[in-house]
Amino acid sequence: AESSNASCADCATVLGSDAWASINLGIFLCIRCCGVHRSLGTHISQCRSVDLDDWSAEQVAAMRGNRSSNAVFEAHIPLGSMRPSCSDPLGLCADWIQAKYVRREFVKPREQPDTLHNYSITPRKVTLWKGSRS
């Protein structure tokens, strides 16, 4: 098992026997952050207890792990932004989790589309005809 999965993907709390997971995000969570994930809705995060809930083989296989998931969702954290810790107020943790998974603020920005200049194409004046062309 990956060592980063022994702590919460969002606040780095060391996980014990009460570990939770978001099966669609493929991450392991503490009970506190799991509560925030549950409030996001199942279209964002689908939480299960690691020990108490039944898991299908497909769900187990789909768990990509905290390191892989955070490589995507924390790829572009702005300077000055800090991951919350377990001692931070719940509201701060909730803000971080919403920024990370709902607003996707830390995902690497997409490449800008190529401009006409990159293709050595120059824009020309276009005349639009109004009415019939007779």
Q: How confident is the model at residue 74 (pLDDT cuts 50, 70, 90)?
A: very high
Strands 20-22 and 47-49: antiparallel
Strands 27-29 and 47-49: unpaired
Token look-up 């690691």 returns 50
| Number of neighbours of residue 36 by Cβ within 10 angstroms | 22
Strands 27-29 and 20-22: antiparallel
Query: What digits encode the pLDDT tens for the residues 76-123?
Result: 999 999 999 999 999 999 999 999 999 999 998 877 665 555 555 566
Q: How confident is the model at residue 75 (pLDDT cuts 50, 70, 90)?
A: very high
The pLDDT value recorded for residue 112 is: 65
* Overall residue count recorded for the chain in this entry: 134
- Percent of the chain clearing pLDDT 90 (strictly above): 75
Tokens representing residue 70 in the block: 């955070």
